[in-house]
Amino acid sequence: MVSLRCTTAHHSLLGSPTCLARPRRRPCPVVRAAVAVEAGAQAKVSLIRIGTRGSPLALAQAHETREKLKAAHSELAEEGAIEIVIIKTTGDMILDKPLADIGGKGLFTKEIDDALLQGRIDIAVHSMKDVPTYLPEGTILPCNLPREDVRDAFICLTANSLAELPAGSVVGSASLRRQSQILYRYPSLKVVNFRGNVQTRLRKLKEGDVSATLLALAGLRRLKMAENATAVLSVEEMLPAVAQGAIGIACRSNDDKMMEYLSSLNHEDTRLAVTCEREFLAVLDGNCRTPIAAYAYRDKDGNCSFRGLLSSPDGSKVFETARSGPYSFDDMVEMGKDAGHELKAKAGPGFFDSLQ
């Protein structure tokens, strides 16, 4: 399941729903500082406060961001210059219901966005696939770190692939995107909602709650847990979520100093690919009950290759498309939009009404 505008009304600052493009520069840069004072000790000043969820994967991504900032800017390498602030989100607290029933994956970012807008943190580190289609007004996302492997990992104690699972086997996944593609190719299998962080889901699998599960390979790799993967699914068998494997870092749109720091870390190939995929998602205007998948990448000829998918949750209807064109911002934005319009027309208005 991809990130959608489900919890709050988000607005684009820059004409693009992703707010990833061409950040506007504003005068009077301001350096915000968090001051922590110990009794009898000199105040320590944090130049950057990083906001993040508290899961092991979220913390690994925040630590990666911190290390990259320290390596790129000498003043940030000093002790105490960067503080990591853990923020608990609604999505972290409600684990017994499907995401669609509690408002979608925007619930993993809202509290962090609020902290950013209120000045309690200076930057926010997100898994890009959790970021809603439209960013909150007053924030911008000028940085994507280099993208990890976009593929999904199959994890099972009794079979080497989805195809080897006996009919009736239960596969656990909270992702409608994964559920629909599994049922499309393997209708004899049963899929159930399966939430929790990586460690929790692996524990539930070992306890026999399900026969198998799928996890993003990127998360396993960042947690140094890739050895848990039984097999890695090709993108042909399981098209990834929009922006899967990408880390995004947001700041306030009027904070030039933070924007300067983040721009120095930005990986442009990743930013363009993520932008293309999110434009596709924005056109489809999917809700939290819409399985959507997309993948844009630079091919061996240096061009952008794009694949997109829209399906029904039970896998009975699947619409796919592909595009190729120059690896440039304007071309990739149009590529994503055009692909979205094609699948929207193929599916027809009744398709989306049936998902409400």
Fold agreement between 152-232 and 267-347: no
Burial class (CB in 10 A: 0-12, 13-18, 19+), 226: middle
127-175: per-residue pLDDT in tens? 999 898 889 999 999 999 999 999 999 999 999 999 999 999 999 998 9
Q: In which band, very low, low, confident or very high, does the pLDDT at 37 lie, cut at 50, 70 and 90? A: very low
Q: In which band, very low, low, confident or very high, does the pLDDT at 301 lie, cut at 50, 70 and 90? A: very high
Query: Which CATH entry fits the domain spanning 152-232: 3.20.20.70, 3.40.630.30, 3.30.70.3400, 3.40.190.10?
Result: 3.40.190.10
Reply yes or no on whether the pLDDT at 17 is more than 60.
no
pLDDT value at residue 286: 61
**Domain extent listing, the chain:** 45-144+246-266, 152-232, 267-347
80-139: per-residue pLDDT in tens? 999 999 998 866 666 566 666 556 557 778 899 999 999 999 999 999 998 988 899 999
pLDDT value at residue 144: 98
* 3 state DSSP class of 241: coil
pLDDT value at residue 93: 65
Fold of 267-347: Double Stranded RNA Binding Domain (3.30.160)
Q: Which of 130, 152, 255, 256 is catalytic?
A: 130
One-letter amino acid for residue 308 of the chain: G
Do residues 318 and 182 make contact, with C-beta atoms less than 8 angstroms apart? Answer: no
**Known catalytic residue: 130?**
yes
pTM reported for the whole predicted model: 0.84
Top mean-pLDDT range of 33-37, 97-101, 325-329: 325-329
Reply yes or no on whether the pLDDT at 21 is more than 60.
no
pLDDT value at residue 28: 40
270-282: per-residue pLDDT in tens? 999 999 999 999 9
Q: Which CATH class is domain 45-144+246-266?
A: alpha beta
- Which has the higher per-residue pLDDT, 12 or 80? 80
Tokens 């003043």, located at residue? 75
Reply yes or no on whether the pLDDT at 311 is more than 90.
yes
Give exposure, 9-43, as e/b (b: 16+ Cβ within 10 Å).
Answer: ebeebeebbbbbbebeeeeeeeebebeeeeeeeee
